[in-house]
Each structure stands twice: as C-alpha cells, then as structure tokens.
Amino acid sequence: MNYKDFLKALDKKLAEYFERDSEHIYCQIGCSACCEKGDYPLSQLELEYLMQGFIALDNPTKQRVQENVKNIQKGGVCPFLIDKKCSVYPYRPIICRVHGLAYLCNNMTVKVPYCVNVGKNYHKVYENGEIVINPISENLDTKILLKGCNYGEIRNLADWLK
C-alpha cells in the first residue's frame, strides 16, 4: 500500500473515532491550540510528504512558512500554521491527524490531547489527570501506525527543519 492510500484508510478510521467521541471534541477551524505549542514528531516519510504540500503552496504562503521556519523552536508554533490554519492540511503528519483524540497507549496509559488543559477536548471527562470514559482502545502513536512501513527516522519537526 502506498502512503497516500494508507492516509486515506487512516483518515477514514480517524473520522469514525472523532464521530464516536464527538460529544467530547471541540476542534474547529481556527482552533489551533495544538499547533501553537507542542512537539511535532514525524517520520522521514511524513516529512517528505509534508514537503510535497509545501511545494504546492502559492509563493506568498511559502514565504510566510519560510519566515516561520527561521524562528522555529521545539515546543513552539508549527511553522505551517498561517492565520490559525494549517497551510498544508491535506499533507499533515500523523501526529496532527490524531491530535484531539484520547487513546490507550501500549503501557496502558491514556494519551489525552494538549487542549484538555485549556477547556477543549475531553475536558468535561478529565479529572485529576485521568479520563473517566473509555478512551479509544487503539494506540495511535506514529510508530505504531507506521509499523511495517519503511518510514525512516522519527524526529521533531524543528530538528528536521533546522
């Protein structure tokens, strides 16, 4: 299966998860808390696909992204975030596709989205550091989802772009 087909199947599965938990999801266009502060681990395969999205941008947007890249920092704003929207949305990496969902990791811990701390996704069912509903039982971490693929090294976006 090629990467585009993989993403199409993944997006279909994720749409079902977002629908399942829709009463706990507050994501909407312009809500970019997850893009403004965070680590963005992505594989070499994802980076190559992301760069295809960058190449397809119009020149003014490319220039804005390039300016953002000059100031990129780990834990900071994603350089592809322009006017609170992802400029390469169809090409975004897995970490961005799954963000917003609460899911079970292999070590039986639950990964919750960053925005739970700012009154967004799952905040009504998150108490004292624990989620009080059943999370998605599938581990949605990039390494797990890409298992069996030749995805290359995984690094933080800031490390890839420096």
**pLDDT score at 75:** 85
Q: Is 99 helix (H, G, I), strand (E, B) or coil?
A: coil
Rg of the chain in Å (alpha carbons): 16
Helix or strand run (H / E) with residue 161: helix 157-161
pLDDT at 1: 67
Is the per-residue pLDDT at 149 higher than 90? no
What's the pTM value of the predicted model, to 2 decimals? 0.93
Strand partners, 127: 130
Q: What is the mean pLDDT of residues 3-12?
A: 96
Element (H, E) at 104: strand 103-104
Computed from CA positions of residues 120, 122, 124, 128, in that sequence, does the dihedral angle turn out positive or negative? negative
Asked if residue 47 lies in contact with residue 55, where contact means CB atoms within 8 angstroms, the answer is no
Residue-level pLDDT at 31: 86
Q: Where are the alpha helices (DSSP H) in 1-126?
A: 3-20, 33-36, 44-56, 59-70, 94-98
| Mean predicted confidence (pLDDT) in 132-158 | 93
Output phi, psi for 53, to 5 deg.
-65, -40
Check: CB of residue 34 under 8 Å from CB of residue 128: no
The domain spans of the chain are: 3-161
Of the pLDDT bands very low, low, confident and very high (cuts 50, 70, 90), residue 44 is very high
The pLDDT, as a whole number, for residue 34 is: 87
List pLDDT tens digits, range 69-125. Answer: 998 988 899 999 999 999 999 999 999 999 999 999 987 899 999 889 888 999 999
Given pLDDT bands bounded at 50, 70 and 90, which one contains residue 161?
Answer: very high
Query: Strand, helix or coil at 65?
Result: helix
Mean pLDDT is highest, among 32-36, 99-103, 148-152, for 99-103
DSSP string, 133-155: SPPBSS---HHHHTTTS----EE
**What pLDDT digit, counting tens, does each position of 121-143 carry?**
999 999 888 899 999 999 999 99
Beta strands 154-156 and 41-43, pairing class: antiparallel
